[in-house]
């Protein structure tokens, strides 16, 4: 089972040989078993990837994430659907009823707000009790938009005077980097489970190929928030660009500890288990079957 990621930050040539990813750099080469790798972040323009490695990564279900000139994740390459029940699962997903989608969304948003409460507690901030009370108010489809009210309260508690739309704030740069990596991991898991990422529950943009990933990633976001808070020196404001250490920390977001049911797992494993449980929920028409990650105590 894949359990690790690669973060490429120096000029490199990546190729494939003997079942391994070969990373050649000026001072030598490193080899990593392909079967161990779940994602690769190409965080330098001075990197090349052979066609053979691209093919091997797609066959193995590895997500390849490329960054832009500012070292912000800009895109992800995923394999074509290879699940042995792809057609059946896709048909069931496309045939989901509106009420089922709304109840699944209700469960997702409740989990997100509960995880926001846990994130506040994990970094020693107040407000967790109020957020948990808000989570109980989320109805089917969240018609009252409790998610938005909880978000305003949550960010005010985590980082007073913080604005999520301030692109120059280093904290936003950290968040965006981590969110992109985790979103790619969630999309990878959905594809591996036979689901179509473009067909969402709440998100339904005709220009978004990852509507479902943007739905499912919501309860994962507070894990990234907590990691960004710690990486940003307890969330202190800054206008600096991300350092290599910052990017390396956020590139490892999928290795963050989480809990799934009673089991301690990484966010990567939680994403895989979440996707599998979503398939079961769709097939049974029972939203209670959907399982989502929670913070490890």
**What is the per-residue pLDDT for 82?**
66
Residue 236 has pLDDT above 90, yes or no: no
90 and 66 share a domain?
no
94 and 152 share a domain?
yes
Last residue of a domain, one of 43, 77, 111: 77
200 and 107 share a domain?
yes
Summarised one tens digit per residue, pLDDT across range 34-66 is: 999 999 999 999 999 999 999 999 999 999 999
User: In which band, very low, low, confident or very high, does the pLDDT at 283 lie, cut at 50, 70 and 90?
Assistant: very high
254 and 126 share a domain?
yes
User: In which band, very low, low, confident or very high, does the pLDDT at 235 lie, cut at 50, 70 and 90?
Assistant: confident
Closest residue by Cα to residue 213 from 176, 180, 175, 183: 183
Residue 56 counted as domain residue:
yes
Last residue of a domain, one of 58, 77, 96: 77
If you write DSSP's letter for every residue of 209-272 in order, what string do you get? TTHHHHHHTGGGHHHHHHHHHHHTTTT----PPPPHHHHHHHHTGGGSEEEETTEEEEHHHHHH
101 and 63 share a domain?
no
124 and 228 share a domain?
yes
Helix (H) or strand (E) holding 194: none
Summarised one tens digit per residue, pLDDT across range 134-167 is: 999 999 999 999 999 999 999 999 998 899 999 9
Residue 294 counted as domain residue:
no
Total domains in the chain come to 2
Identify which has the larger pLDDT, 80 or 226.
226
Distance CA 113, CA 51 (A): 42
119 and 244 share a domain?
yes
User: In which band, very low, low, confident or very high, does the pLDDT at 85 lie, cut at 50, 70 and 90?
Assistant: confident
Residue 80 has pLDDT above 80, yes or no: no
11 and 102 share a domain?
no
Residue 102 counted as domain residue:
yes
Summarised one tens digit per residue, pLDDT across range 163-215 is: 999 999 999 999 999 999 999 999 999 999 999 999 999 999 988 999 999 99
Residue 137 counted as domain residue:
yes
Q: Which domain holds residue 197?
A: 86-289
Last residue of a domain, one of 49, 77, 105: 77
Supply the pTM of this predicted model. 0.94
Average pLDDT estimate for 8-26: 97
Query: CATH number for the domain including 53?
Result: 3.100.10.20
What is the rounded average pLDDT for all residues in the chain? 94
Average pLDDT estimate for 98-122: 98
Largest distance between two CA atoms of the chain = 58
Residue 297 counted as domain residue:
no
Residue 296 counted as domain residue:
no
Average pLDDT estimate for 87-113: 96
- Distances 166 to 48, 163, 217 between C-alpha atoms, Å: 33, 6, 22
Residue 83 has pLDDT above 90, yes or no: no
Identify which has the larger pLDDT, 223 or 90.
223
**What is the per-residue pLDDT for 237?**
84
């Amino acid at each position: 089972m894949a359990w690790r990621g690669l973060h490429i930050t120096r000029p490199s040539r990546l190729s494939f040989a003997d079942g391994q990813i070969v990373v050649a750099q000026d001072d030598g080469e490193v080899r990593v078993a392909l079967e161990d790798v779940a994602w690769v972040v190409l965080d330098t323009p001075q990197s090349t990837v052979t066609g053979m490695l691209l093919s091997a990564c797609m066959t193995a279900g590895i997500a390849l994430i490329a960054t832009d000139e500012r070292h912000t994740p800009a895109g992800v390459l995923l394999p074509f659907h290879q699940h042995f029940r792809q057609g059946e699962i896709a048909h069931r997903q496309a045939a989901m009823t509106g009420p089922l989608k709304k109840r699944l969304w209700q469960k997702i948003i409740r989990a997100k707000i509960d995880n926001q409460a846990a994130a506040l507690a994990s970094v020693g901030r107040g407000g967790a009790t109020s957020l948990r009370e808000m989570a109980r108010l989320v109805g089917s489809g969240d018609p009252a938009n409790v998610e938005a009210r909880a978000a305003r309260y949550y960010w005010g508690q985590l980082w007073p005077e913080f604005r999520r739309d301030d692109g120059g704030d280093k904290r936003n740069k950290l968040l965006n980097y981590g969110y992109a990596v985790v979103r790619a991991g969630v999309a990878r898991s959905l594809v591996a489970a036979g689901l179509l990422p473009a067909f969402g529950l709440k998100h339904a943009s005709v220009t978004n190929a990852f509507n479902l990933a943007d739905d499912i990633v919501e309860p994962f976001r507070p894990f990234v928030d907590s990691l960004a808070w710690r990486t940003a020196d307890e969330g202190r404001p800054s206008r600096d660009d991300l350092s290599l250490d910052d990017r390396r920390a956020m590139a490892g977001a999928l290795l963050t500890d989480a809990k799934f049911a009673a089991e301690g797992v990484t966010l990567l494993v939680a994403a895989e288990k979440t996707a599998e449980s979503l398939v079961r929920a769709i097939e049974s028409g029972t939203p209670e079957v959907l399982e989502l990650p929670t913070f490890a105590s």
